[in-house]
Homo-oligomer: A and B are copies of this chain.
Amino acid sequence: MTSIIFYPYGKEAHPDGRQSLLQLAGNLNLPLQGLCRGRKKCGKCRVVIEAGDGPLPPPTDRERDILGDQTDQGVRLACETVLTDGAHVRILEESPGQKPLILTAQSGQKLYLKLAPPVEAFYVEIPEPLLNPPLGDAERLLAALESTYDLSLRLTDLHLLRILPRTLRTSKGLTALVRNRDEIIGLNPEKPSSLCGMAFDIGTTTVVGYLFDLFNGRELAVLSALNPQVPFGVDVISRLSYCRENPEGLEKLRLLILQCLNDLITEAADSAKIDLNHIVEVTLVGNTVMHHLWTGLDPAFLAASPYPPVLQRHQDFKAGELGLHIHPSGYAHLLPLKAGFVGSDIIAGILASRLHKQKRLTLFMDLGTNGEIVLGHKDRLICCSTAAGPAFEGGHIRHGMRAAQGAIDRVKIEPGNFDVHWRTIHEAPPAGLCGSGIISAVAEMVRRGILLANGHFNPEVNSRRLRNGSHGPEFVLVWAEETAHGQDILLTKKDVSEVQLAKAAIFAGIELLRGKWGGEPVQQLFLAGAFGNYIDLEDAVTIDLIPKELKRWVMLGNAAGSGACLTLLNRNKRKEADRIARNMGVLELAAQPRFQELFVSGLFFRSALDYSDNY
């Protein structure tokens, strides 16, 4: 150690025997500053020197005056302390003016947060035992942590109590891993080289894991995997059926997703070159069915109205109790959910989007098999869930596919000759249509008059692309010789009907939510989910998927994943998530008298009427 490392930021400075720690931190723009601007009066620029290369200068008289006994525990005033050797210096959190950290999520979106991880490392030196008072090892450790950091902690983990006496006597001091400023979950004779956490967004189809360094908030790895439960049901409904029909179904699905999470943990740790024991916390978000499946909660009653979940509120489990292979005393935090059909992924998404802090009336949509829709602002949120079906994920569509290489994600059709231009993911030869490609194709077909308002193909269109297939009319988007698999890629009448059913469900949901706001204009749209990243807003407006009057919109990317990361890096965000879940209202669409009427009207392509002149 030849440099001074400032925690929790991981920034380095070089000890020059001249500049104070306050000056060095200032050079690095670190949020360490007193109230007295370095005039050595306020005592607010407190740091703890957790480890030092060489002997430390003794505390000055001013430090002794201001800090008292705390100097025995390595607490110093940064303005008074000048080092000549390397050291680990922790900036205490009470230090005023801590600036928010900026995280860059995978989508390129930036997350602003102060780092306040659920697990932190605190170094202390424990006084020798005395005959009188005869304090136990645990009591001396807890007292040292209290006097140094003003933390009143619990130490109840049997494993830790068993290793405590030896650990305490291995070196001069030890590092306690402290969770939620409340409970000791780890004891290390050395300062741990890293302290990490993992956030998981567990989707019906895809599982994404994010590995973070909790010392400095750096993202160390992002990995994803196909949900291994897919073979037992592509959607949550069929997985519920599988559990109902197979006595061991729940346990089987639980073990599958657990194995997937453990594989991702191992893979992430390998890629970041850390030990599994350095992962001390996991956060988990997902829809309610996935939440029940990974926890092993009986999902039987989620299948029928009123879809009661076993558990709504957030829950902390020992990670080992769930079967997760991380630090033996680490915890898994499950974010709260709202209902059987509004999961913790939506809560996490709202948290990440800051929907609950907006002044403008905002529409938040996460479009998957279920379209979850939230309308509201900082004072009030109402959510609903619509059974959109899998069309927007490529399901039930003849040439539908996931947004993977070769998926067509954008379509243009020339007026007049109906020639089709397309764009594919990674510019690979086209293999099918992903959700945004389907919407784009349908929207273009509406604009060119190929589709009529009622969803029928226009018999007056004169093109060999419009033909009668074995299952009725169909429109060829790509001829066989240009595709990856040598077959025509086309959209059938049945495909169009699937899109109509999906968009009508979402349309009805939005309209009913708007009704609750008494016609107040919706000012902006937050579109969550991978799908939201690729969709063309104009296309979505053309097929009435989103309201026409919206001018401002934000693509959130994987907002659920971002929310999971936020609650991993800042424990206060967990309380925010709890508040969102508790205060959000729910609108149950099936119970609304106007639902049927709105659904039927949503089946139509109204804008086809505007384009009828084109033809």
Q: Which residues of A contact B (CB under 8 A)?
A: 129-140, 156, 158, 161-166, 169, 295-298, 300-301, 305-313, 315-317, 321-322, 338-340, 342, 586-588, 590-591
Known: A161-B315, A164-B298, A165-B298. 19 other contacts (CB 8 A): A130-B306, A131-B588, A131-B590, A134-B309, A136-B309, A136-B312, A137-B301, A137-B309, A138-B310, A138-B312, A139-B313, A158-B296, A158-B317, A158-B321, A161-B310, A162-B298, A165-B297, A165-B300, A165-B301
Instruction: Identify which of A132, A140, A586, A590 gathers the most chain B CB atoms within 10 Å of its CB.
Output: A132
- CB A495 to nearest CB in B, in angstroms, measures 33
- CB A208 to nearest CB in B, in angstroms, measures 25
**Are A340 and B134 touching (Cβ within 8 A)?**
yes
**Are A131 and B305 touching (Cβ within 8 A)?**
yes
**Are B588 and A132 touching (Cβ within 8 A)?**
yes
Q: A156-B315, A340-B134 are in contact. Are A129 and B162 (CB under 8 A)?
A: no
- CB A156 to nearest CB in B, in angstroms, measures 7
Q: A158-B296, A162-B297, A166-B298 are in contact. Are A586 and B133 (CB under 8 A)?
A: yes
**Are A135 and B312 touching (Cβ within 8 A)?**
yes
- Residues of chain B within 8 A (CB-CB) of A317 are 156, 158
Q: A134-B340, A134-B586, A313-B139 are in contact. Are A129 and B308 (CB under 8 A)?
A: yes
- CB A136 to nearest CB in B, in angstroms, measures 4
Q: Give A78 to B586 CA distance when docked, in angstroms.
A: 41
Q: Give A305 to B307 CA distance when docked, in angstroms.
A: 63
**Are A129 and B298 touching (Cβ within 8 A)?**
no
- Residues of chain B within 8 A (CB-CB) of A339 are 134
Q: Give A515 to B587 CA distance when docked, in angstroms.
A: 77
Q: Give A388 to B308 CA distance when docked, in angstroms.
A: 65
**Are A313 and B161 touching (Cβ within 8 A)?**
no
Q: Give A282 to B339 CA distance when docked, in angstroms.
A: 38
3 A-B pairs closest in CB distance: A134-B339, A129-B308, A136-B312
- Residues of chain B within 8 A (CB-CB) of A300 are 165-166
Q: A132-B588, A588-B132 are in contact. Are A310 and B137 (CB under 8 A)?
A: yes
- Residues of chain B within 8 A (CB-CB) of A315 are 156, 161
**Are B306 and A138 touching (Cβ within 8 A)?**
no
Closest B residue to A591 by beta carbon equals B131
Closest B residue to A338 by beta carbon equals B134
- CB A410 to nearest CB in B, in angstroms, measures 38
| Partner of A297 from B130, B131, B161, B587 at Cβ < 8 Å | B161
Q: Give A308 to B135 CA distance when docked, in angstroms.
A: 7
Q: A158-B317, A311-B161, A313-B139 are in contact. Are A131 and B295 (CB under 8 A)?
A: no
User: What would be 8 A-B contacts, judged by CB atoms less than 8 Å apart?
Assistant: A131-B590, A132-B588, A134-B308, A134-B312, A134-B338, A134-B339, A136-B310, A161-B297
- Residues of chain B within 8 A (CB-CB) of A311 are 136-139, 161
**Are B165 and A306 touching (Cβ within 8 A)?**
no
- Residues of chain B within 8 A (CB-CB) of A161 are 295, 297, 310-311, 315
| Partner of A165 from B307, B310, B587 at Cβ < 8 Å | B310
Q: Give A591 to B587 CA distance when docked, in angstroms.
A: 74
- Residues of chain B within 8 A (CB-CB) of A587 are 132
**Are A306 and B134 touching (Cβ within 8 A)?**
yes
- CB A77 to nearest CB in B, in angstroms, measures 33
Q: Give A591 to B133 CA distance when docked, in angstroms.
A: 13
- Residues of chain B within 8 A (CB-CB) of A307 are 131, 134
Q: Give A340 to B129 CA distance when docked, in angstroms.
A: 11
- Residues of chain B within 8 A (CB-CB) of A132 are 586-588, 591
- Residues of chain B within 8 A (CB-CB) of A162 are 296-298
Q: Give A302 to B139 CA distance when docked, in angstroms.
A: 15
Q: Give A321 to B301 CA distance when docked, in angstroms.
A: 32
- Residues of chain B within 8 A (CB-CB) of A164 are 297-298, 310
Q: Give A437 to B312 CA distance when docked, in angstroms.
A: 67
Closest B residue to A315 by beta carbon equals B156
- Residues of chain B within 8 A (CB-CB) of A156 are 315-317
Closest B residue to A590 by beta carbon equals B131
- CB A526 to nearest CB in B, in angstroms, measures 23
- CB A168 to nearest CB in B, in angstroms, measures 9
Closest B residue to A130 by beta carbon equals B306
Q: A131-B591, A158-B321 are in contact. Are A136 and B295 (CB under 8 A)?
A: no
Q: Give A322 to B161 CA distance when docked, in angstroms.
A: 13
**Are B591 and A308 touching (Cβ within 8 A)?**
no
- Residues of chain B within 8 A (CB-CB) of A301 are 129, 137, 165, 169
- Residues of chain B within 8 A (CB-CB) of A590 are 131
Q: Give A163 to B250 CA distance when docked, in angstroms.
A: 13
- CB A329 to nearest CB in B, in angstroms, measures 13
Q: Give A133 to B584 CA distance when docked, in angstroms.
A: 10
- CB A89 to nearest CB in B, in angstroms, measures 31
- CB A152 to nearest CB in B, in angstroms, measures 13
Closest B residue to A296 by beta carbon equals B162
- Residues of chain B within 8 A (CB-CB) of A139 are 311-313
Q: Give A128 to B287 CA distance when docked, in angstroms.
A: 23
- CB A553 to nearest CB in B, in angstroms, measures 29
- Residues of chain B within 8 A (CB-CB) of A158 are 295-296, 317, 321-322
Q: Give A129 to B587 CA distance when docked, in angstroms.
A: 15
- Residues of chain B within 8 A (CB-CB) of A131 are 305-307, 586, 588, 590-591
Q: Give A204 to B156 CA distance when docked, in angstroms.
A: 26
- CB A537 to nearest CB in B, in angstroms, measures 31
- CB A73 to nearest CB in B, in angstroms, measures 20
Q: Give A130 to B135 CA distance when docked, in angstroms.
A: 54
Closest B residue to A155 by beta carbon equals B311
Q: Give A188 to B164 CA distance when docked, in angstroms.
A: 38
